[in-house]
Structure 1
Amino acid sequence: MDNSKVFRSILSFIMALWLAFGSFCSPAAALTDEQKLVSQAWRIVNRTYLDDTFNHQNWAQVRQEALKTRLKDSQTAYQAIQNMLKTLDDPFTRFLDPRQYRSLQVNTSGELTGVGLQIALNSETGKLEVVTPIAGSPAEKAGILPRDRIVKIEGTPTDNLTLDEAASLMRGRIGTAVSLLIERDSSSPKEISIIRDRITLNPVIAKLQKSKKNNIGYIRLTQFNANAPIKLANAISELEEKGADGYILDLRNNPGGLLQAGIEVARLWLDSGIVVYTVNRQGVQGNFESSGPALTKDPLVVLVNQGTASASEILAGALQDNKRATLVGEKTFGKGLIQSLFELSDGSGLAVTIAKYETPNHRDINKLGITPDKVMPSEPIAINQVATSDDVQYQTAVELLESTTIAQRLGARS
């Protein structure tokens, strides 16, 4: 054979090998911006989500399936992220577009515009439920109650809406109306029209009330925002100066808020003891303690109901387990999960369940709630009837305080 032909054959073979090897070893094609966004969201959940089984599924496979879809723009990327998160079956782990993410970051001590409802997806039924109306809000004035089911918003069925989509439908300009179809217990759905308004978030209402035998410091805490601990501390100090003999802390229809605020409020009442345990997916327990001194040692009764949720349950559980307070009312809502916010590269974000909390006695509150020491059901009452003779739960708390303070005085004399 001609040497030149042999040389050309060998050269062709080497080139073919080089091309094949080069093709095999070349880096994968660069991800598009949309694919990077989906991958970023996947990594955050993969790293932080409470359930390391990811709802008993192959989480890596979920990512692969998401990246197989055609992601032509940000909206299709957002949909792919939402589809990934839906497989977790966790209504609290959710995607937030840039507008929703900015809205959720708004300082909770400011003002809101809307109807004033705290909402959640029932983990068992998947139905959109009212946790509680915000005190003094249009929703409260319209008669919306905790555990009411929102069937439709402006004619749109809520079955397939996320929490943020439902909240967006209820927001709007001041003075405009929004129609809600409400279902309560087994009664027929009822349509309620609510006029949107500016909602001022004042977390603490405090006053000295005279009972037959005592001066009672009544404090209503409506939410746990950044200002709640200092506002409550000021209220306790002022009531102490006015001669309060005992306290009623009203957490009814308090949907929670900032975890740290709940912890700081508990510390105002406790000289020492565990406030709450947090448990991550590795089972590692962290805890928050109180090192005192408490602002007052006077007797304390805490009012709770079905609208008492999240940080409110942390506080109620801490005071109950440390035997600092007697709880009166109804079993609480049962939200014992902790979420963190994560910002994505394009300004959108994720709310991800990263841990759960337990009371000082290691009670798991999620879906179970806290049972009061004295269970006392109550019919719905108007806002101007709260902490009056028409409020049976409040009156029960007053009676408990009177018997407690009398016993303390007799003990002091002996």
Structure 2
Amino acid sequence: MPRFIGLMGLRHWVLLGSSVVAAVLAAALPSYGRMQDSPKTLVDEVWQIVQQEYVDESFNQVDWLAVRRQLLAQRYTSREQAYAAIRGMLQQLNDPYTRFMTPEELTALRTQTSGEVLGIGIRLTVDEKTKQLTILEPLENSPATQAGIKAGDRLLAIDGHSTRRMSIEEASRRIRGRVGTPIELQLFRPNRGTFRLTLTRALIELPAVRSLVKEEGGVRIGYIYLSEFTAHAADQLRAAIRNLEAEKVEGFVLDLRGNPGGLLQAGIDIARMWLNQGLIVRTVDRSGHSEQARANQSALTNLPLVVLVDHRSASSSEILTGALQDNGRAIVVGTPTYGKALVQSIHQLSDGSGLSVTVAHYYTPNGTDINRTGITPNVMVTLPQAVSANPRLWTTAADRLYQAGVAQLRQAIYRSQAPKPVNTAQTGEQEQLRQPLGVPCPVQ
């Protein structure tokens, strides 16, 4: 059953990022009802949803009723013709986030947003030299890891079907299946040769969070990388904060670089882990109705925090960053973010395809509209493309953005630990104890 996701009474609201990411299915179609599965009624089904929900009541200065008359006057002999007509209709809105999805695209979107996958838990790539399907990595706590599959293993066959000339998409389709069903893989490992494994498919929770303790200049820092705002992201991040606090870290670096966004509620839930009070985000729909999400005294830590962002940090990443920056909870380091301040509703259509519709604008706590401009960091630092595009280099000496964030965090830690001003009884004057200056931060 598809699920609702809401913001204080608003139903099935999500945020889509700078690429094809992050959504959730609406539990039902609006009140005009589910139509019969035919090409023409599918076209009208999409028109009706846009008519009722689209954020711009002028429909980009398009006569939306005339569009419907024109579309229904046409004859559609196939689903593909209907799909083409729908895409043409939506293009007139000049909104890249209001878009049509085939059933396959909607399924992929649902899988990505849920943070779960049915299969054995492997990531595949094509080896540049051998041109063979190769295991990029097995996921933690997956059937693949339990069976001993390792990164670099070559995938030769799936249930007896050779993978020679097989695409990653086809291999993924063959690997997916019902929970509890068996699958046989033929693999090759240089020091082992060819071998076969039989695994049992399972429902696997995909990791959205990576965390570790970093020793930087005598300071223990809790580093957290959040890749996407999936349905499991908040729980995973909550566990990371608690584990790092148990490791006696003195501050946190939250890395949102390359994070395209995801579920709206996940962004709100994660903001509440860092904020005890204050506004998180305000949304406004097409009728001007405004709703707010606020912190609720549920912060997990009050340790100093630095947030790292870049031009690919979008939607939910920007809601979280804006909330932490505007409330003075974090120092933001990096480059201006993507600039997407729009909220979408996702509908499953009567034939299994999908529709994403922009239904609201959002604003940061200070009332800033970041659409197309993004959030400006407190400290601007750019990275060479070779480093920015290679996460394996992040947190290393080559990662100037991370190093600048660490410098800012160390200063914040020193300030938080410094003695407070005291009264000097002998003179009746106040003397402020000297505070460490911290580490100067390079601004690139």
TM-score by length of 2: 0.66
1:399 paired to 2:407: yes
Computing the radius of gyration from Cα coordinates, the structure with the larger value is 1
Deviation string 1:241-276 (CA, Å, 9 cap, x unpaired) is: 111111110111111111111111101000011111
* Paired position in structure 1 for 2:255: 250
Question: What amino acid sits opposite 1:110 in the alignment?
Answer: E
- State the SS of the aligned residue for 2:104: helix
Match of 1:51 among 53, 56, 61: 56
Contact 1:221 1:249 in 2 (8 A): yes
Q: Does 1:312 align with 2:320?
A: no
CA distance in 1, matches of 2:37, 2:73: 12
Alpha-carbon RMSD = 2.5
| Aligned equivalent of 2:419 | 411
Q: In the alignment, which residue of structure 2 is the partner of 1:388?
A: 396
Contact 1:304 1:330 in 2 (8 A): yes
> What's 2:17 paired with?
none
Residue matched to 1:110: 116
Query: Hey, what's the Cα distance between the residues in 2 that align with 1:371 and 1:86?
Result: 30
For the 8 Å contact 2:37–2:351, the answer to whether it is kept is: no
The share of aligned pairs that are identical, in percent, is: 41
Higher share of residues assigned helix: 1
Contact 2:40–2:75 (CA under 8 A) maintained in structure 1: no
C-alpha contact (below 8 Å) 1:114/1:172 kept by paired residues: no
Paired position in structure 2 for 1:68: 73
Q: Are the counterparts in 1 of residues 259 and 312 from structure 2 also a CA contact under 8 Å?
A: yes
Deviation of 1:413 (Å): 7.5
* Structure 1 residue 341, shift from structure 2 partner: 1.1
Could you tell me which runs of 5 or more consecutive residues in structure 2 were left unpaired when the two chains were aligned.
1-35, 127-135, 138-166, 173-203, 423-444
Output one character per residue of 1:21-65: Cα deviation in whole Å (capped at 9) or x when no partner: xxxxxxxxxx99333222211110000001110010110000001
Deviates more, 1:316-325 or 1:354-363: 354-363
CA contact (8 A) 1:236 1:295 kept: yes
**Aligned-pair CA distance for 1:114:** 7.5
Q: Deviations over 1:302-359 (max 9, x none)?
A: 0000111111011000000011000000000111111111122222221111112111
Q: 1:208 aligns with which of 201, 209, 213?
A: 213
Answer whether contact 2:54 2:359 (CA < 8 A) is retained. Answer: yes
Task: Give the equivalent residue in structure 2 for 1:7.
Answer: none
* Higher relative contact order (CA closer than 8 Å, sequence separation 6+): 2
- Confirm or deny that 1:283 pairs with 2:280: no
> May I ask how many residue pairs the two structures share in their alignment?
311
What SS does the corresponding residue of 1:78 show, helix, strand or coil? helix
Distance in 2, Cα, partners of 1:271 & 1:110: 30
- Residue 170 of structure 2 corresponds to 173
Distance 2:289 2:125 in 1: 40
Per the TM alignment, residue 201 of structure 1 is displaced from its structure 2 partner at its CA by 4.2
Matched position secondary structure for 1:105: helix
How far apart in 1 are the matches of 2:72 and 2:37?
10
2:378 and 2:234 mapped to 1: Cα distance?
A: 25
Q: Say whether the 8 Å CA contact 2:37–2:350 is kept in structure 1.
A: no
For 1:94-173, what aligned pairs fall within 5 Å after superposition?
A: 94-106=99-111, 108=113, 109-111=115-117, 172-173=169-170
